[in-house]
Amino acid sequence: MEKLYEGKAKILYPTEDPDVLLTIFKDDATAFNAQKKGQIQGKGAINCAISAALFRWLETLGIPTHYLDCPQNDQMLVKAVDIIPLEVVVRNIAAGSLCKQTGLKEGLVLGNPLVEFYLKDDALGDPLLTWERALLLGVTDEAGLQTLKDLALNINQHLQRFFAQCDITLVDFKLEFGGDRQGRIILADEISPDTCRLWDNTQTDPQARVLDKDRFRRDLGEIESAYQTVEKRVLSQIERLQSQIGAS
């Protein structure tokens, strides 16, 4: 098949159904707007499994997603959507670029979740946008921005509770959304250690608690085992929730 698009972490292919696309999750790892590159063995399959499990779970909570099925362990069939060129970032704890840009101390718990919009544009370095700049660029309208913010905050509430039950703190994360054929804004892309900052609640050492791509960014080592830990805990929690539903 001729690929439709190849990004840093995934490749998109068409299928016989024009409303369905095939996503291949790659083992490639990038950081700092692709200035640092490498590979994380097994990352594609791990991120695919985590994303699929969380998409299915969010669907049960009324959050529409593009997920359809996983034909293989590193492949996901998804609904074709028109991606909104915004990265929606939700922050619960100060870390990463928020600390660098504001001087806030890493680990500071924010009084309320902070929602930020970044323009999806590699050439410009995915710049942070104000609400007004997002409207000026015409990527969506006022109602669309509000919908993105509301969806992101709703997803954040669900994910915070979910990861807490996995002994993981959801520090911050990035979401992407798209418009489907019915005109709805739905969750797309992925939810994984590539797109979330996750801290292990069973660890006290600041470096040992990192379970996400910061291990790659900061050369902390044991990257694969961190991703595997997240996968194991997420899938185990999904099984527990399914058992509870079955028992009820």
pLDDT at 247: 65
pLDDT at 130: 96
* Plot region of 106 (φ>0 → left; ψ -120 to 50 → alpha; else → beta): beta
Per-residue pLDDT tens digits for 10-54: 999 999 999 999 999 999 999 887 788 999 999 999 999 999 999
Per-residue pLDDT tens digits for 133-160: 999 999 999 999 999 999 999 999 999 9
Cα separation, 1 vs 95, in Å, equals 40
State mean pLDDT over 113-124: 95
Evaluate if residue 193 carries a pLDDT over 70.
yes
Residue ranges and CATH numbers for the domains of the chain are: 5-79 (3.30.200.20), 82-221 (3.30.470.20)
The two three-digit tokens of residue 134, written as one number: 């997002």
**Would you give the distance in Å from CA 135 to the centre of its chain?**
24
Q: How confident is the model at residue 185 (pLDDT cuts 50, 70, 90)?
A: very high
Q: C-alpha distances in angstroms, 209 versus 183, 189, 197, 204?
A: 41, 25, 11, 7
Please give the angle made by the CA atoms of 153, 132 and 66, to the nearest 5 degrees: 40
pTM for this model (two decimals): 0.95
Cα separation, 110 vs 197, in Å, equals 15
Cα separation, 227 vs 91, in Å, equals 20
Question: Which residue from 10, 49, 9 is spatially nearest to 29, judged by alpha carbons?
Answer: 9
**3-state SS assignment for residue 126:** coil
**Would you give the distance in Å from CA 151 to the centre of its chain?**
14
